[in-house]
Each structure stands twice: as C-alpha cells, then as structure tokens.
A and B are shown apart, each in its own frame.
Chain A
Amino acid sequence: MTTSTSKNAKGIGTSRRNFIKNISLAGAGLVVGLPLTACVNASLPNKNQLALTPNALLQITNDSTINFYLPRSEMGQGTYTGLTTIVAEELDVHPSSINVMNASVHDDYTNPDYGFQVTGGSNSIRTHFLPLRHLAANARLVIRQAAAQQLNVSLTDVQTENGNIVVSGKALPYGDFADSANNLAFPEHAPLKDKSQFKYMGKNAPRLDGLSKSTGTAEFGIDVDFDGLYRAALKRCPVHGGKVKSFDDSAVRAMPGVKSVVKIHNGVAVIADYYYQAKNALVNLQVEWDLPETLAAFSSDSTASDNGKALFKTALDSNESSNAYEQGDGLGALNNAVKVIEAEYWAPYLAHATMEPMNCTARLTGKHLELWVGSQSPDLAKLTAAYYADVPKGNVTVNSTFLGGGFGRRVNTDFVAEAAAIAKESGVPVQLVWSREDDMKHDFYRPAAMVKFSVGLNSDGLIDSWVVKRAGPQIMPYTMDDLVDGMMPSFLPNAMVDGLSKAGYSLYQSLLVDHASVEGLYEDYDAPHKSSGHVTVDPGLPIGPWRSVGHSYSGFFKESMMDEVAALHNKDTVEFRLQHLKNNPKLANTLRVAAEKAGWNKPLPKGHYHGVASHASFSSFVTQIAEVSVKNNQLHIHNVVCVIDCGLAVNPDIVKAQMQSGIIYGLSAALHGEITLKGGVVQQSNFHDYPALRINESPNIDVVIIDSDDAPTGVGEPGLPPIAAAVANGIFAATGQRLRSLPLKLES
C-alpha cells in the first residue's frame, strides 16, 4: 500500500492520488537491494506500485522518484520515519522526498535478527542501522560514478546535494544518471558519513506518516475495499480450543444481506454484503461446542475462591524448578546471608486491545490467494494462509497496510488463518473483521506470572544473593502452535503438522525455559550470587508477546523488590540501587540523571511523593521517577520523569514519543489491566470492563535522552517495564502500602 509523504507541515504536499499516478508512471531506473541482490535491474516487479513481489528495498527511477520499500511494519513505533531517515542520510536526499511503501513479502525484508519477516523486539532501527546506511551510501556512490562517466569529469568533482548531482555548481537530479548507474557494478564499500556530517539523523523532524494519519487517508487493513468484496464475522468457541460439534443456521440465512454460512477450523462464519449485517446475524447463529477440558475447568474471577492463583502458588511452592540462570551459588549463599528478605509478586493475564481490531481480507482466485493485512509477520501470514486456503505457498500475494496498533498481537496469524479458511469455504472474496468483543476474548494474552524473591544481604547491607523463581505459562509453545502450520513443508499431511505443533508444546512445557519467561528478573544489579528458576504452569489460555514481553512483569517485580530491600533497612532507594549498579554504568547514569531532573530528596508539594524504577531491556536503559499523591484513597500520578539511553537517537522526537507511549500503555496495565476467566471463558469484553488509560488520567511526562555516539538500541518497548514499579514505589512512599499485585489496588 502506498502513502504520500510531505515535507510541508501545512500540508502542501503531494496528494495521495497524484503520488500513485507518479509512481505508476515510473519507468526504468536504478533498483538496488541489499548487497546480496545488488545486481538486480529495473525489470524487477517493484518498478511500480502495483508490483506484487518487490525484491529490493530501494529504487531510483529515471524520473528521479526514490522508492523505499519499508521492510518493517509501521504500527505506531515510528519505523516508517526512522528507517527512511537512515536511507535519506546516506543517499543525501531529504527524508520527506522519499516515497515509502509498506513492503510485501520477500527475502530482502527478512529481519536479520530472527531470520523471518517479523517486526518486534524493538530491533528495527538497531538491526537495519548499518545495512541500510551501506545500501544508501553505495547507491549514492554508483550514481556519482555514473555522473562522472556521463559528464566526463573525475569522481572527486562530482558532489551531491539533496537528490541532485552537483558538478561545477550545476545541479542535475539523480534520475538523470539512474539508467547508466544501472549498467555499472554496484559498489560494496562506499564510506559512511561521520556523525559530524549528519543532516537528518540525530535531529528532530515531524513523522513522515503524520500527514496521512491526521487526515484519515492512511490505509489500514480494515479500510481495504473493492468491488465484489463480502464481509465476514466469525463465531468462535468461548473457551479457546473448542471445536464445533454442531450448528443451526436456519435463523440466519434469511437475514438481511446474508450470503452464506460456513464452518471453518475454529468456528462458524457468516458472510454478508456488509459487516454490520454479518455481525447482527451471528447473534442468531446457534452453535454447540466440544469444550477443551483443562481450560474449561479454570476460573480466576471473583467466583473462584483463590482467584485462580492456587495453581500458580502450588507450582511456585513446589520443589520443581528448571534452572534458567546461575551465577555463583544463589541458593547456597542464602544460608550464609546476614539477613534474607523474601516476597511474592503477581501479575495477571492482559489483553493487547489494539485500537484497530484484528482483520484480514482474502481473495482466492483458483489456486492463487491474495491477502491484504496489517501484520507484524507478513511472511508467516503468507505461509499460514497458504495452509488454510490449501494453495501452494508460492501462490500467495500479501499486500501490507499500516497497523492500527500491534504491541505484539499482530505477530500471531490466527486471524489470517480464519480469513483464508473462510475465503476457501465460501468461494468469495471476504474481509474478516473482529468485533472488540472478539478481540478481547480471543487474544494471545500477556501471560500471568507469580514470582518469589529471596534476597540475601551481607554484613555491609549489600546484596550477596539474588534468588528468584517464576511460575507461569510460557509463550514459545503457543507461538509454535500458531505458526507451525504454515512453516512445515507442504508435502506433510495436515494431521501430521497438527501433531508436530502439539509436540512442540509439551517439549517446552516439561523441559525448556523460554528466555522471555524470566528475562529482566535478575540481570540488572550486582550480586556475587544469582539464581533464577522456572516452573511452567499453564491453565491453557493462549499467550503471546505483549509489549516488552517478559519485561512487562519482571520490571514491576524486580524494581518493587529492590525498593523493598532498600526500604527495609531505611536506605535511600536511589543510593541503594547505585551501590549495585557498578557493572551497569549506563543504567546507573540514567538513574543519576533522572534523580537530578526530578529533584530526588528535594521538597515536593505537600502530600506528593516520588517512586523510582530502573530497568534495562532491548539493549536500552531506562529510569523513571513518578510523582504521586494519595488523597481519600485515590491515587494521582502528577508527573513522570523518564531518562533513556538508547545510543544514537535517529529521531529524538520519536524516541520521546515512544517513552510517552510505553509509559501510558504501561499505566493502563498498572492501574486497570486484568483479564480473568470463568470456566475458561474470558470475562472482559470491551473498554468498559477492560479500561484503557484516558487523557484525563494521563500524567505530564518529561523525557530526557542521554546523548550518545553508540549505535542505536530499542525504544518501542523499553519505556514500559519501569512504570508500574515507579508508581507502586511512590505509593509505598506515600502510604506505607507495599502493593505486590497488578493491577495496583490501594488497600481501603
């Protein structure tokens, strides 16, 4: 999908339609990919916007259009602007003059860290920083070489200036040399700019997708429309994993607009002319289900005497534990400690609740399937869809759109599988749209977790042993189960593929510790002895990556525990942390800067208190200090100071936006977020019973970015992990209440 960009904040930019026209006209020119595919030429399908499988990242046409195929998915985090800025810097063009397109599926778009085309783990800028710079620098060099040849001057006399070749003061657009550059060997080692030469990187600039997103013209998956497209709504088993036993659609078929009713792998779909007709008809669809036993027996709402925690508590207290990390002799050292402090913490299941509900459009024509979807993993979506539509993997075309929020939810491809299956069963092009209720009740949730800390102190009051055990479900088996259908070789029968994915689950259940289960629980602070254990306990609710994954709870657990240990012998909690950050200088620095900025230990308005938390994740380092008050048993969060070290900030304003975003998303969870089950059925359904933070609850946020020459690190997720603990530690300072469960609930 295409989107126009504009350098002019007042909006005198290229209109969307003109833009499409322009690039459709784009003819021959220079097409370059990663070094591996550098010798490709203009006959590639990405020479215009209608290309189905572009196999390169960058194109410069002979009419000087510069196309950049965005290899990562834009879901709010700013990668659209960030990666384009990196290309622009080395190509020497203004970022807003580059046409950015959401890429389809191709090997060139593979995420180098993961080996498949996924956007997640806050790595887009980090992992593409050097490869994209080299790509653009090499492209700029080859255009200069072509210009030198064409104009018969020496290379050193050929300079560039904002998309132009400049020779003896005369400027000619890059496109004039695109065809001849295409006949030259593509360079591999063009020098990169020095930081002192940067025109765009490291500087604030408006987001390149801001214009389309401020005018309702950015295209999301749900906006895809074409003649002959039907809409589908799907009734799924209220308990995940249930199967259709029987269904009665007699009251449905005559309803307005209803075209057909089809059964698929996990439910029964109504296909209608319009979405509201399909959604209305679902109410009258009668389905009997075969329920999965384990999950159907699980309750964690107020009707369960233990609130569902007994399962976790029993596992935590058992001797069962897989070792996840060991340094020195964590458990043994506890015996020699002068004092041992123990505490247990809890975090519930959470939904992602992206603003755009899940949706996918699928059109099956013979044995060819075309998809339109906003996905964090378009290549996996392609494989999954091929499996469920029963077409060869090579016969699937993916059209990527903007994502109306991702937060990890759109890594999974369950909704793509459904759309593909419905298209196959119904025989018509369909757009499957989930309701908010579908979204809330059929998520891959942030896993619940219970941990127990045992912290041993030495005679100096410093930490000698840091021991932590986590009980909870693990994400990896669910991801495998969701994705394996599409990843298995197509010659394997479907039943065998299903069997293999289930085998992966039990392997993980009993033997392995997924690093995401324990990440962030033990790394940050110095201690001679450390030990982290894990016991898997799983009621069977699907789980998946949720913004900052394991750090989303471990940040709260670890930073609250650190506060407890410091408070127990009346140590200043900032000073106590610094004493244990000698081997973590970047985190220590963010803490010092934040304490200075917030005025730690300086007088605050009457009744206001500070809480602090520091946490490293996704190769970045963040400290947050929350200023809170509690009046009439009501919590108020007045201000949050946030300091991040993320290496070079390619666009500091977007880093700031991501800190604001992580804090606010994290506060929704810290103050309100809780998914509960009754008989395996998720009890929350919409924003009235799963509230998101609103503008009136949103605190003032001051962000400081540490100046750094180091390579860029993550920003989409690292702003989230500290916030719940910063607030909880503030509540402790204000009231003496140590809240060890999320969401935070003041004792009355």
Chain B
Amino acid sequence: MISFVLNGQTVQVSAAPDTPLLWVIRDHLKLKGSKFGCGMGLCGACSMLVDGESTRTCVLPLVAVAGRQVTTIEGIGNPGMLSTLQSAWVEASVPQCGYCQSGQLVSATALLSKNSNPSDEEIDNAMSGNICRCGTYPRIKKAIKQAAMDLKQGDGRLQAVAYFDPATLNTEV
C-alpha cells in the first residue's frame, strides 16, 4: 500500500508502485478531470500539482508521490466553487474542445502561486509544456493576466477547494 495526500485527504492505494500516477488517479480513484494525452510527459494534459509543482503524471510512478501532496483539477475548484483562474477561464471562454484545460489550469495555478505578476515571457516559459491543439493560447495568456489582477486586488483564491473528498463522487478508493 502506498499512501499520499490527494486534494487534502490521505489516500491509500494498492496499485503496483510503478503504476503511473495518472492512471491511479483516473482508474483506481476515479477522478477523471486529469487527462491522458501522450504517455511521455510531452503534452501536459495529465498535469497535477505535486507539492505545488506542475508535474507530468503520465510518467510519474505512484511510488514517487508516497507521503507527498497531490492536487488535481478537482482539488483546485469545482463548478459551484471556482478558483480565480477558473473564473477567468470561464469569462474569457478559454476552452474549446476542453480536453487539455485541466492540465493548463494546473500549470497556471503553479505559475501564479510563485509569481503574482507574470510577464508574457514568464507565462510562455511556465505554460510551454502544455499543448493545446485547439489553439487557446491567446486566451490562456489573457485569462492568466486577468486572474493575476483579480488576485492582486485580494478577493481571489488560487485554490477554491480546501478539502476534497473523492468519496463524494461515489467511488471506491
């Protein structure tokens, strides 16, 4: 059994230690917000926060997160309680097909947690690991800047969900 903290709650998983974290989250823990895109850490669709860093989990073995903090898109916010970035995403109509957007939001959350006022170049550097085939990049930039402004004014939050219980999704852990 390997245990780690998922969206604020300690979980124990019996999957093989070399199982990529993405599949543990998606298929064992049934949180489907994080996506499979390439299996090689090239596209960023599977990004999750591991101890606050945006991490490609399709190539990250389960054992590597033992005892660590993992946050998925479900731990950042939900439709009834959005993070400031998610609000900016909705307002700017960032998503198109939407498949890559969980990963985009995870990387953007990691960026703003370290840099409250990123320049265009800093956004490029932080977000260039996340591919979007629909070409939502201009809106991603716009939404990150909007969220940075909203956060500066003090009424925003990088994570809307302090505690997320996967059991509320009615699934087995």
Contact = CB atoms under 8 A, between A and B. Distances in A.
Interface of A: 4, 6, 9-13, 15-16, 75-78, 206-207, 209-220, 222-223, 225, 231, 256, 274-276, 279, 353-357, 402-407, 433, 435-437, 653-654, 657, 660-665, 668, 686-688, 692-696, 698, 700-701
B89 A11 contact: no
Given A206-B91, A692-B43, A695-B123, 18 more contacts: A9-B91, A11-B82, A15-B80, A76-B134, A77-B96, A207-B95, A209-B95, A209-B98, A216-B32, A217-B78, A355-B35, A356-B35, A356-B97, A403-B97, A404-B97, A436-B37, A661-B135, A695-B124
A403 B128 CA distance: 23
Contacts of B32: 216, 219, 223, 225
Given A213-B98, A276-B19, A405-B99, A686 B42 contact: yes
Contacts of A435: 39
Given A213-B98, A355-B132, A692-B131, A11 B74 contact: no
Contacts of A696: 124-125, 128
Given A214-B94, A215-B77, A436 B39 contact: yes
Interface string B54-86: 000000000000000000111001111110001
B148 interface: no
A217 B80 CA distance: 11
B120 to A, nearest CB: 9
Given A13-B79, A212-B79, A657 B139 contact: yes
B117 interface: no
A436 B90 contact: no
A210 B87 contact: no
Contacts of A663: 135
7 contacts: A213-B95, A216-B31, A223-B32, A403-B97, A404-B99, A687-B43, A695-B127
A87 B87 CA distance: 26
A219 B169 CA distance: 14
A404 B81 contact: no
Nearest to B34: A216
Contact of B42 (A222, A276, A687): A687
A78 B35 CA distance: 21
B137 A695 contact: yes
B30 A225 contact: yes
B27 A274 contact: yes
B137 A214 contact: no
A14 to B, nearest CB: 8
Given A275-B27, A436-B37, A665-B134, A214 B99 contact: no
Interface string B123-152: 111011011111111111100000000000
Which 9 A-B pairs have CB atoms at the shortest separation, nearest pair first? A216-B33, A664-B135, A213-B98, A404-B99, A76-B97, A76-B96, A213-B95, A216-B73, A11-B82
A654 B96 CA distance: 9
A357 B36 contact: yes
A700 to B, nearest CB: 7
A11 B23 contact: no
A113 B97 CA distance: 24
B93 A654 contact: yes
A738 to B, nearest CB: 27
Scoring B28, B93, B105, B136 by chain A CB atoms within 10 A of each residue's CB, the highest score goes to B93
Contact of B87 (A10, A16, A218): A10
Given A404-B99, A435-B39, A665 B87 contact: no
Given A212-B79, A653-B93, A688-B42, A355 B133 contact: yes
A686 B93 CA distance: 28
Contacts of B73: 215-216
B100 interface: yes
A11 B135 contact: no
Given A222-B35, A695-B137, A4 B87 contact: no
Contacts of A16: 79
B102 interface: yes
Contact of A402 (B23, B97, B136): B97
Contact of B79 (A215, A220, A664, A668): A215
Given A216-B32, A225-B30, A695-B128, A78 B91 contact: no
A357 B37 contact: yes
B135 A78 contact: no
A695 B89 CA distance: 16
A700 B138 contact: yes
Contacts of B33: 215-217
Contacts of B40: 436, 686-688
A210 B137 CA distance: 15
A483 B45 CA distance: 31
B95 A220 contact: no
B135 A214 contact: no
Given A207-B93, A217-B78, A695-B124, A355 B39 contact: no
A271 to B, nearest CB: 14
B79 A15 contact: yes
Given A9-B91, A210-B95, A216 B72 contact: yes
B77 A11 contact: yes
Contacts of B124: 695-696
B16 to A, nearest CB: 7
B87 A9 contact: yes
Given A213-B98, A692-B133, A696-B125, A355 B27 contact: no
B79 A218 contact: no
Contacts of A209: 95, 98
A322 to B, nearest CB: 35
A358 to B, nearest CB: 12
A215 B82 contact: yes
Contacts of A654: 93
B95 A214 contact: yes
B101 interface: yes
Scoring A12, A218, A353, A665 by chain B CB atoms within 10 A of each residue's CB, the highest score goes to A218
Nearest to A701: B138
A686 B38 contact: yes
Nearest to A214: B89
A700 B134 CA distance: 15
Contacts of B80: 11-13, 15
Nearest to A231: B27
Given A214-B101, A218-B98, A695-B127, A661 B38 contact: no
B54 to A, nearest CB: 14
Contacts of A206: 90-91, 93
Nearest to B81: A11
Given A11-B80, A16-B79, A215-B86, A405 B134 contact: yes
A207 B89 CA distance: 10
Contact of B138 (A9, A78, A275, A660): A660
Contacts of B28: 274
Nearest to A694: B128
Nearest to B45: A355
Nearest to A654: B93
Contacts of A657: 93, 96, 136, 139
Contacts of A279: 39
Contacts of B93: 206-207, 210, 653-654, 657
A357 B35 CA distance: 10
B82 A210 contact: no
B164 to A, nearest CB: 11
B95 A698 contact: no
Contacts of B31: 216
A276 B23 contact: yes
